[in-house]
């Protein structure tokens, strides 16, 4: 068994689409970043890479590389899943927490879980997506994601 942890944050910016877990959510602001700014997929990518001690997202997809400008973050998650497979492991389950002032994630959580599960090739029951507002943290301008994954040998 292996455990992995990942964390990410991106700043809100008006007038761009908001993508979380590969799902576009209705909101007047999106997350700025070199890629599509998908904070949850980035945290999950780092959790998967961390679980097999295979480096981090920036090592595979440097922000300075123009190839990843506006990139669909599903590409990053797929590479991390490939590293997990190559190391001889499969995913048991995923837990995650989003911290953001808005929009409310609850109404979209099931859709996000299903989409993430599809990208990872696992059952949606093995993917947890929780959300909190950033009480007293002063981070209302950002979205933060924490993720942990558990792997087992294949």
CA dist 115 and 94 (Å) reads 13
Q: Which is nearer to Mg ion, 8 or 50 (CB)?
A: 8
DSSP 20-70: ETTEEEP-SEEE-SSS---HHHHHHHHHHHHHTT---HHHHS-TT-GGGTT
The answer to the question of residue 46 lying near Mg ion (CB under 5 A) is no
The answer to the question of residue 38 lying near Mg ion (CB under 5 A) is no
Sole window of 2-10, 12-20, 80-88, 129-137 interacting with Mg ion (rule: CB under 5 A): 2-10
Q: Which is nearer to Mg ion, 39 or 151 (CB)?
A: 39
CA dist 7 and 148 (Å) reads 9
CA dist 17 and 116 (Å) reads 18
CA dist 97 and 91 (Å) reads 18
Q: Which is nearer to Mg ion, 76 or 89 (CB)?
A: 76
Sole window of 4-12, 48-56, 96-104, 113-121 interacting with Mg ion (rule: CB under 5 A): 4-12
> Which residue, judged by CB position, is nearest to Mg ion in the bound state?
42
The answer to the question of residue 115 lying near Mg ion (CB under 5 A) is no
The answer to the question of residue 42 lying near Mg ion (CB under 5 A) is yes
Please report, as ranges, the residues that interact with Mg ion according to CB under 5 A.
8, 42
């Amino acid at each position: 068994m292996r455990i992995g942890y990942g964390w990410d944050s991106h700043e809100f910016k008006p007038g761009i689409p908001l993508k979380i877990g590969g799902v576009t959510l209705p909101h007047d602001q999106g997350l700025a970043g070199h890629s599509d700014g998908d904070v949850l997929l980035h945290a999950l990518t780092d959790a998967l890479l961390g679980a097999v001690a295979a480096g981090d997202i920036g090592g595979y997809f440097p922000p300075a590389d123009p190839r990843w400008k506006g990139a669909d973050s599903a590409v990053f998650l797929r590479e991390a899943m490939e590293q997990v497979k190559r190391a001889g492991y499969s995913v048991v389950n995923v837990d995650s927490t989003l911290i953001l002032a808005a929009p409310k994630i609850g109404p979209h959580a099931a859709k996000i879980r299903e989409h993430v599960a599809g990208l990872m090739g696992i059952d949606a029951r093995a993917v947890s997506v929780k959300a909190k507002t950033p009480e007293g943290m002063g981070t209302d301008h950002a979205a933060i994601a924490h993720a942990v994954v558990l792997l087992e040998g294949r």
